[in-house]
């Protein structure tokens, strides 16, 4: 049975609303001076930080080469302007964390009791800072909760990203040391393997970012990649997690013969708390806490790109370039004998999408329209066929905050980057993911495929590990970060990253006459669905060697307020 602890508000925001506190503590109210007395106080404060975790979202990879949307993405088409304010340059969460970290010492309790909640707060500080580093690069590091008279700190310059990453790692290593094991943490609460997973994510990101962006620092790329391996190993060695073949039970699914939904069912589980692939769930309960994903998903003008469809291997583990019989004249032909994850996340007749009023499982086709899919490849990864799950704010299936599949992929990629990946490493990582969907294994010497241009050469093995990551983690919010850290903007120059389905006579026959008028483009002898009015050679899809879009611009109001801040390269006005 699904259990959810309720985040208890304790008025700590009221504590933070003032920069100064009096010496006299009122007898009948909570004050900063009276609050920090015991471990339970620390727990209640930390509870409120859990709102920093993201909720279910269909739009996570809309800014990438995986998806196309009704409106052209401003970043991908180089149509972004420097914001006057906001833009992610916000320090409220950091101050909330530092407020705690500068006051918890007066609480009475054992070292393990106290440090457990210190670890939670430091985890969330690391989480927020990592997001800022990914967006802006260099950012000011703060360990105090800033007050209006802290002039020197308020107007400090940005610290080097390598220094800040070091501080993030310190926070996460502290969290991994002091957070309890899952059985002692409580359902839905942080534990040490969440910290190790986040640590592997941070170290893989920054280790590869340094390598491909040719950066240096006191913490080297190799050291970061080695930390990524060790953090992933800690999770893998726990014996608590596994890759799950999710059944149809409870998912409202009735798979077609020969088309099991072992992967697709994973993302519409009512209860992830007992799922061995879930390292940390975000939990939802009917009539208590529900979400909109079922209603929003696949109805918001988002579709997979043609390039993403061509990423999927055949079931024998070989790319389409090795299969001369490859035929994409219709979706049915395109799906034939391909990686089973393909039919499990794309709307097609082999994945039931609706239970009708008579209880019959049916496939519900979708048109190419702004309020549905726009590419002919409509998303169904998080779409439950249960009608109640698709009403407004009534979805109750849980959401993965951290999934074991990512840990395995982090491990395999870091080992490949270090040049130490073995067949045994592949068998305990990538090939576990392939076993779930009954795909051929990845070997240490895979078939060479040059269909994707990163703008530089990588080994065939690393090429395939990157492919596996793209497929397994599709629409889970990793793709843009991967493109940035790999310095792989070149991928976005491929026109198939913003084109839709192949327009053959067979495929067009399934749509009303006139649907594709003025929306066709021919490349390499094939005709594809054109999504945008922008020309295919639009300069905005070109990426320079040190393109400014790898970092976000600082808002202009902050540059005016603090003369020690400088704008990121290329964004200067």
Percent of the chain with pLDDT over 90: 74
- Of the pLDDT bands very low, low, confident and very high (cuts 50, 70, 90), residue 19 is very low
Average pLDDT taken over every residue of the chain: 90
pLDDT of residue 222: 98
Residue of higher predicted confidence among 536 and 252 = 252
Closest CA to 532 of 499, 563, 509, 504: 499
Please check the confidence at residue 548 and state whether its pLDDT lies above 90. yes
Please check the confidence at residue 335 and state whether its pLDDT lies above 80. yes
> Long-range contact list for 448-455, CB < 8 A, 24+ apart?
449/319, 449/321, 449/322, 450/321, 451/310, 451/319, 451/320, 451/321, 452/311, 452/491, 452/494, 453/490, 453/491, 453/493, 453/494, 454/486, 454/488, 454/490, 454/491, 455/487, 455/488, 455/489, 455/490, 455/543
Structure confidence by residue, pLDDT tens digits, 220-237: 999 999 999 999 999 999
Helices assigned H by DSSP within 312-422: 331-335, 341-345, 404-418
Closest CA to 295 of 390, 397, 393: 390
pLDDT of residue 150: 81
Q: With contact defined as beta carbons under 8 Å apart, do 475 and 60 qualify?
A: yes
Mean pLDDT, residues 310-338: 96
What is d(CA 514, CA 511) in angstroms, rounded to the nearest whole number? Answer: 8
Domains and CATH numbers, the chain: 39-561 (1.25.40.390)
Residue of higher predicted confidence among 538 and 172 = 172
Mean pLDDT, residues 52-69: 93
pLDDT of residue 298: 55
Please check the confidence at residue 16 and state whether its pLDDT lies above 60. no
How many helices (H) and strands (E) would you count in the chain?
A: 21, 9
Mean pLDDT, residues 58-62: 91
pLDDT of residue 24: 34
Q: Beta 520-523 vs 526-530: how paired, if at all?
A: antiparallel
Structure confidence by residue, pLDDT tens digits, 258-278: 899 999 999 999 999 999 999
CA–centroid distance for 215 within its chain: 24
Residue of higher predicted confidence among 90 and 537 = 90
- Of the pLDDT bands very low, low, confident and very high (cuts 50, 70, 90), residue 14 is very low
pTM here is: 0.94
Closest CA to 176 of 126, 226, 241: 126
What is d(CA 328, CA 502) in angstroms, rounded to the nearest whole number? Answer: 7
Please check the confidence at residue 20 and state whether its pLDDT lies above 70. no
């Amino acid at each position: 049975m699904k259990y959810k602890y309720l985040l208890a508000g304790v008025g700590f925001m009221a504590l933070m609303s003032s920069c100064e506190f009096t010496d006299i503590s009122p007898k009948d109210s909570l004050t900063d001076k009276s609050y920090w007395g015991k471990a339970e106080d620390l727990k209640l404060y930390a509870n409120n930080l859990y709102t920093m975790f993201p909720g279910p979202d269909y739009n996570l990879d809309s800014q990438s080469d995986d998806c196309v949307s009704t409106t052209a993405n401003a970043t991908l088409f180089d149509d972004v302007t420097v914001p006057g304010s906001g833009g992610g340059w916000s320090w409220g969460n950091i101050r909330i964390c530092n407020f705690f970290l500068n006051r918890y010492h007066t609480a009475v309790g054992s070292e393990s009791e106290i440090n457990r909640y210190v670890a939670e707060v430091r985890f969330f500080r690391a989480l927020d800072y990592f997001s800022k580093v990914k967006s802006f690069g260099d950012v000011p590091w703060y360990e105090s909760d800033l007050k209006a008279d802290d002039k020197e700190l308020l107007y400090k310059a940005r610290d080097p990203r390598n220094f800040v990453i070091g501080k993030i790692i310190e926070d996460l290593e502290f969290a991994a040391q002091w957070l309890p094991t899952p059985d002692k943490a409580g359902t839905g609460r942080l534990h040490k393997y969440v910290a190790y997973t986040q640590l592997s994510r941070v170290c893989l990101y920054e280790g590869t970012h340094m390598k491909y962006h040719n950066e240096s620092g006191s913490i080297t790329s190799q050291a970061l990649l080695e930390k990524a391996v060790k953090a992933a190993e800690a999770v893998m060695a726990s014996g608590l997690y596994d890759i799950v073949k999710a059944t149809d039970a409870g998912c409202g699914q009735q798979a077609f013969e020969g088309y099991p939904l072992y992967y697709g069912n994973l993302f519409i589980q009512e209860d992830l708390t007992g799922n061995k692939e879930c390292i940390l769930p975000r939990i939802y309960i009917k009539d208590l806490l529900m979400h909109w994903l079922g209603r929003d998903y696949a109805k918001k003008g988002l579709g997979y790109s043609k390039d993403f469809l061509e990423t999927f291997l055949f079931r024998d583990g070989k790319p389409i370039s090795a299969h001369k019989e490859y035929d994409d004249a219709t979706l049915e032909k395109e799906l034939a004998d391909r990686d089973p994850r393909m039919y499990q996340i794309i709307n097609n007749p082999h994945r039931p999408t609706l239970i009708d009023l008579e209880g019959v499982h049916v496939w519900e086709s979708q048109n190419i329209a702004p309020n549905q899919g726009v590419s002919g490849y409509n998303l169904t990864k998080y779409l439950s066929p249960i009608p109640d799950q698709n009403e407004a704010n009534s979805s109750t299936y849980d959401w993965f905050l951290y999934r074991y599949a990512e840990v395995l992929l982090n491990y395999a990629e870091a080992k490949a980057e270090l040049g130490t990946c073995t067949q045994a490493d592949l068998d305990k990582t990538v090939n576990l993911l392939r076993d779930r969907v009954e795909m051929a294994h990845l070997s240490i010497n895979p078939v060479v495929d040059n269909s994707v241009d990163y703008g530089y050469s990588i080994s065939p093995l690393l090429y395939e590990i990157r492919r596996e990551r793209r497929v397994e983690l599709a629409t889970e919010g990793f793709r843009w970060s991967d493109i940035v850290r790999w310095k792989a903007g070149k991928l976005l120059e491929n026109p198939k990253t913003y084109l839709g389905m192949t327009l053959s006579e067979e495929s067009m026959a399934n749509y009303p006459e006139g649907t594709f008028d003025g929306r066709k483009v021919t490349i390499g002898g094939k005709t594809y669905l054109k999504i945008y009015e922008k020309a295919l050679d639009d300069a905005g899809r070109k990426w320079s060697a040190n393109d400014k879009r790898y970092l976000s611009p600082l808002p202009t109001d902050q540059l005016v307020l603090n003369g020690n801040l400088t704008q990121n390269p290329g964004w200067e006005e």
